[in-house]
Chains A and B, each alone.
Chain A
Amino acid sequence: MKFAQLLKMIRKQKYLILMIFPFVVWLIIFRYIPLWGWITAFQNYKPGIPIFQQQWVGLKYFKEMFSDPEFYLVMRNTLAMSILGLIFGFPLPIILAILINEIRHNTFKRTVQTISYLPHFVSWVIVASIVHAMLAPDGVVNYALLKLGLIKQPILFFGEPKYFWWIVVFSDIWKEVGWNTIIFLAAMTAINPELYEAAEVDGASRFRKIWHITLPGIMPTVIMILILSIGNIINIGFERQFLLRTSAVRNVSDVIDLYALDYGIRAGRFSFGTAAGIFKSVISLILLFSANKVSKKVTGHKII
């Protein structure tokens, strides 16, 4: 009997179930029940009235959003910064992890690791002010470029829209690259050292060992991080853009989260903000599952 088996299993694992119970409750309360609020996206929501007495408006807010030219502008900015961030920000921690792994000198290795983690622990407010100082017309970046003779005049990095995406992407890389190596370095320690010894006996060079042992060894981790990053393409947040932007670059700095905040919650249009939120979640889910499926087909690794 299936049911009897189930009961037996429950009895066997009762302590485990008891231990996980509070966290399942936590997950339901804080992660699933709030989804209930999604129905306000289909209502003309006004605070203070019970949710079922609100006026239903169907897809009005979605239609409004999709016919708003501003929405396409923020989507373009969101996707541009996310995809640039993925293209440049995803391979760098892997390369850095391999390079750090190849350092033989242990003290130096630890020092490099520790220093590269440092910016991760500094909040974006501080990082943004540092970036502004570094890229100022009399900042160190302009100074170096002038000294090298690459430019004649200092560049106004925050005065021209064409630099903004790169500033966001590279300040993010500067802040997080060291931190993101941790998971790859951890994956590397799990590789069986006998593989390296065997390769040594066979006369493999270091590059061969990196290519044929280290890289395949961390591949499942790489795929997992890649799938999760692709799922997060639209979850760009707004801290970086909000703190780094100036009035000159408004057109390229508005992202979907800022849009939901400015046109939804701050303007008191909660339904509109919720509609934008739903749109984001749906896209995110689609991206996550597609990436997972493609990865399963191409590499055989999957996470869901």
Chain B
Amino acid sequence: MKRSLGEKIFDVINYSLMILLVVITLYPFLYVLAVSLNDPFDTIKGGITIFPRIFTLDNYKEIFNYPSIGRAALISTLRTVIGTITGVFFHRYCSLRIK
């Protein structure tokens, strides 16, 4: 299919916007990931972008050594699983009438 110049420009702008959206959405997560893998004292100095500067797993070791983390994770999981199952079930049936 032949595309006009206007459409080509539109495509370029559209793809650029989408890539921008992806960057804006992903960057904060990558930043958090980098900070979580970085030495905590080094993090305070700032300037972390998307790669950890001084790599360490200490932060994760500390988190998993919290005595209550297993229970917290279990409760979160159960809440989500039970909530989703009952939610879908109820919504499905309540909305059967509405068409």
Taken together as a complex, chains A and B put the C-alpha atoms of A27 and B93 apart, in Å, by 12
In contact, A118 and B7 (Cβ under 8 angstroms): no
| B84 in contact (CB, < 8 A) | no
Taken together as a complex, chains A and B put the C-alpha atoms of A26 and B86 apart, in Å, by 12
Selected from A103, A115, A133, A134, the residue in CB contact (under 8 A) with B22 is A115
Taken together as a complex, chains A and B put the C-alpha atoms of A115 and B26 apart, in Å, by 7
Chain B residues positioned under 8 Å from A23 (CB to CB):
90, 93-94
A residues 92-135 touching B (CB-CB < 8 Å): 96, 99-100, 102-104, 108, 111-112, 115-116, 118-119, 126, 129-130, 133-134
In contact, B25 and A140 (Cβ under 8 angstroms): no
In contact, B18 and A20 (Cβ under 8 angstroms): no
Nearest B-chain residue to A206, judged by Cβ = B7
| B28 in contact (CB, < 8 A) | yes
Nearest A-chain residue to B90, judged by Cβ = A23
Selected from A116, A134, A138, A206, the residue in CB contact (under 8 A) with B21 is A116
| B88 in contact (CB, < 8 A) | no
- Closest-CB distance, A24 to chain B (whole angstroms): 9
| A19 in contact (CB, < 8 A) | yes
| A174 in contact (CB, < 8 A) | yes
In contact, B96 and A205 (Cβ under 8 angstroms): no
- Closest-CB distance, A170 to chain B (whole angstroms): 11
In contact, A118 and B21 (Cβ under 8 angstroms): no
In contact, B28 and A130 (Cβ under 8 angstroms): yes
Chain B residues positioned under 8 Å from A108 (CB to CB):
15, 18
In contact, B17 and A115 (Cβ under 8 angstroms): no
Taken together as a complex, chains A and B put the C-alpha atoms of A111 and B29 apart, in Å, by 16
Chain B residues positioned under 8 Å from A206 (CB to CB):
7, 10
- Closest-CB distance, A276 to chain B (whole angstroms): 27
A174 and B22 in contact (CB under 8 A), knowing A20-B97, A133-B35, A205-B6? no
Taken together as a complex, chains A and B put the C-alpha atoms of A32 and B86 apart, in Å, by 19
- Which 4 residue pairs spanning A and B have beta carbons closest together? A138-B46, A130-B28, A112-B18, A115-B22
| A178 in contact (CB, < 8 A) | yes
Taken together as a complex, chains A and B put the C-alpha atoms of A26 and B93 apart, in Å, by 12
In contact, B22 and A178 (Cβ under 8 angstroms): no
Additional pairs, 13, CB under 8 Å, beyond known A118-B26, A133-B32: A16-B96, A19-B96, A20-B94, A20-B97, A115-B26, A118-B29, A119-B25, A129-B32, A130-B28, A130-B29, A130-B31, A138-B47, A205-B7
Binary A-proximity of B58-95 (CB < 8 A = 1, otherwise 0): 00000000000000000000000000000000100110
Chain B residues positioned under 8 Å from A178 (CB to CB):
25
Nearest A-chain residue to B22, judged by Cβ = A115
In contact, B25 and A116 (Cβ under 8 angstroms): yes
Q: Could you name 23 residue pairs across A and B whose Cβ atoms are closer than 8 Å?
A: A16-B96, A20-B97, A23-B94, A26-B90, A99-B14, A99-B17, A103-B18, A108-B18, A111-B22, A112-B21, A115-B21, A115-B25, A118-B25, A130-B32, A133-B28, A133-B32, A133-B35, A134-B28, A138-B47, A174-B24, A205-B4, A206-B7, A207-B10
Taken together as a complex, chains A and B put the C-alpha atoms of A20 and B97 apart, in Å, by 9
Chain A residues positioned under 8 Å from B22 (CB to CB):
111-112, 115-116
Taken together as a complex, chains A and B put the C-alpha atoms of A277 and B63 apart, in Å, by 39
In contact, A100 and B90 (Cβ under 8 angstroms): no
A96 and B96 in contact (CB under 8 A), knowing A23-B90, A130-B32, A205-B6? no
In contact, B21 and A96 (Cβ under 8 angstroms): yes
Binary A-proximity of B24-63 (CB < 8 A = 1, otherwise 0): 1111110110010000000000110100000000000000
